[in-house]
Structure 1
Amino acid sequence: MLNGNQLNAVEVIHGVVDGQPWERIIHLTGAPAEILRRGERVSCLHRESSKHFHASSSRLQALLKHQDFTVPVNYILRKGGDGRVAGREAYRVDVLPKDKARYGYQFWLDKASGLLLKSVTVDRKGRGLEVFEFVSIDIRDAIDPAVFNPGEGLHWADKPQTELEAPVPQLNWKLSWLPTGFDLSGSEMRVVDGVAASTKVFTDGLAAFSVFLEKIDSRIHTEGTQTHGATTALSRRLPVKNGEYLVTVVGEIPMETAMQVAMAVRLAGDVR
């Protein structure tokens, strides 16, 4: 996996257990970490902590599984050339954006199985920003569920029930502008260090970004921008009558799009 100028190696184990997709992604570089998925339940595991969330199927997953797939309206699908990836014959599919609000993609699919062997996120000039590529792949008819168990020192643990039931104050806000084709796909309210934080996730079927909103001390200067490969992060302060809030946009979208989204946050009311 190449993100910008940073190369990371991971091992991916994927299969179907009891009719549900299971997946285990093992980071082979850096600190030990794994991402485990069982159906819509996803956990990010580290030796010191773990985070849990739910994930739903995307149009990209439907494409890779050869299910009914409709190309998102803001993209054009074109057949590219042929080649070899991970020692297997493959063909390339180019997914071209119709506007400047999103990136394009190149997908290399295995001719024999249709599996995704390589994906490249590209900017408007066709430059590669992020690359996922298998260097070795083993396709089997059956898989032992035990291979999805966490590695040594990592544990799959549920959130304590008290944390799940803790009341969380709500933030009432919306976006006055969204890039064409993006819709809300999920939202969450949490309390971090005693401060209410709201998260909303938007997707156009291929690209996705998250918007975070939390109240801050007006003396804290936390604005800034950062780009790493295809991932953009932007934070700006939002002054309101009862103080200031920090708006953060993170996702695989161009910086110009992230700026427009951050400027479009409208707080409809204080914490209620």
Structure 2
Amino acid sequence: EVSTMEVSHAVIGGREFQRLTHLDGRLVEVLRRGDEVVCLHPNGTLTRINRKQAGPLGLGERIAHDVPEQYNILVDGDGRVAGRAATRMRVAPLDTHRYGYRLWLDNESNLLLKSEVVDGSGVALERVEFVTLTLAAPLTEQDFSIPETVKESDLTQLADSHPSHQLSVEAQWMPAGFTSVDQDWRQGGSDREPVAAQGYSDG
């Protein structure tokens, strides 16, 4: 299944702004304004999520800072994406407990133009790719404004004193390099039961 999106990204006044707009199917948008993330739903409502989140191409940012020891990074030749010259790279796992990645980096800007998540046989399971790209576009804060909505809801983080925080999730076994991250309890409105999420990551 293929889904197309328009991505706008800018740093204005030291703050990062991003807008993801689905161009097919139901109209859904995700806005990032600094640390605030807002999801705009097709029915005209929005949900605010006040937390730092990486964009859809956040893998490149993580690899630029640190590569877990369970992976090797290999330069895999030249490529071309969105009409731009690129360098191909492979992020190869050293065991069978994690996926690998194929990356295409823009030679001019070092921007991640394309990424693929691949299984142990090299088959692409997920692909994110630019088809057109405009650098240094004249964007302003107005391009990332939040429209008027019918209803607004917050995913509020529960207070530390809430009884739900007495519950915990522990894995009996994890592959080497994985640790638990982002155990989170949130409540979508005062009339709803809180929900929990526990994530695991190898970096």
- Give distance in 2, aligned partners of 1:25 and 1:185: 25
Q: CA separation of 1:142/1:184 partners in 2, compared to 1, >3 Å: closer, same or farther? A: farther
TM-score (normalizing by structure 2):
0.82
What is the correspondence of 1:156-195 to structure 2 with a 5 Å cutoff?
A: 159=154, 168-170=162-164, 171-191=167-187, 194-195=192-193
Question: Alpha-carbon deviation of 1:168?
Answer: 4.1
SS of 1:175's equivalent?
coil
1:113 pairs with one of 100, 109, 113: 109
Percent of aligned pairs with the same residue?
Answer: 35
| 1:245 aligned residue | none
Q: How many residues align?
A: 193
SS of 1:146's equivalent?
helix
TM-score (normalizing by structure 1):
0.63
- 1:168–1:191: 8 Å Cα contact kept in structure 2? no
Aligned partner letter, 1:10? M
| 2:127 aligned residue | 131
1:26 pairs with one of 13, 21, 24: 21
| 2:11 aligned residue | 16
- 1:90–1:108: 8 Å Cα contact kept in structure 2? yes
| 1:55 and 2:49 are equivalent in the alignment | no
Aligned partner letter, 1:121? V
Residue segments in structure 2 that go unaligned for 5+ positions in a row: none
Structure (1 or 2) with the greater strand fraction: 1
Q: CA separation of 1:77/1:131 partners in 2, compared to 1, >3 Å: closer, same or farther? A: same
| 2:71 aligned residue | 75
RMSD: 2.7
Q: CA separation of 1:187/1:35 partners in 2, compared to 1, >3 Å: closer, same or farther? A: same
Question: Alpha-carbon deviation of 1:122?
Answer: 0.5
- Give distance in 2, aligned partners of 1:104 and 1:132: 14
Residue segments in structure 1 that go unaligned for 5+ positions in a row: 1-5, 206-272
Question: Alpha-carbon deviation of 1:157?
Answer: 5.0
Q: CA separation of 1:187/1:82 partners in 2, compared to 1, >3 Å: closer, same or farther? A: same
- Give distance in 1, aligned partners of 2:126 and 2:192: 36
Q: CA separation of 1:164/1:76 partners in 2, compared to 1, >3 Å: closer, same or farther? A: closer
SS of 1:173's equivalent?
coil
Question: Alpha-carbon deviation of 1:55?
Answer: 2.3
Aligned partner letter, 1:61? E
- 2:33–2:144: 8 Å Cα contact kept in structure 1? no
Deviations 1:70-119, CA, capped at 9 Å, x for gaps:
21111110001101100000011100011111110011000000001100
- 2:105–2:114: 8 Å Cα contact kept in structure 1? yes
- Give distance in 2, aligned partners of 1:155 and 1:23: 23
What is the correspondence of 1:255-266 to structure 2 with a 5 Å cutoff?
A: none
Aligned partner letter, 2:197? T
- 1:168–1:196: 8 Å Cα contact kept in structure 2? no
Q: Which has the larger radius of gyration?
A: 1
Question: Alpha-carbon deviation of 1:191?
Answer: 4.7
- Give distance in 2, aligned partners of 1:71 and 1:46: 35
- Give distance in 1, aligned partners of 2:62 and 2:151: 27
| 1:103 and 2:103 are equivalent in the alignment | no
Question: Alpha-carbon deviation of 1:165?
Answer: 6.9
- Give distance in 1, aligned partners of 2:121 and 2:69: 21
- 1:189–1:197: 8 Å Cα contact kept in structure 2? yes
Q: CA separation of 1:115/1:9 partners in 2, compared to 1, >3 Å: closer, same or farther? A: same
SS of 1:174's equivalent?
coil
Aligned partner letter, 1:15? A
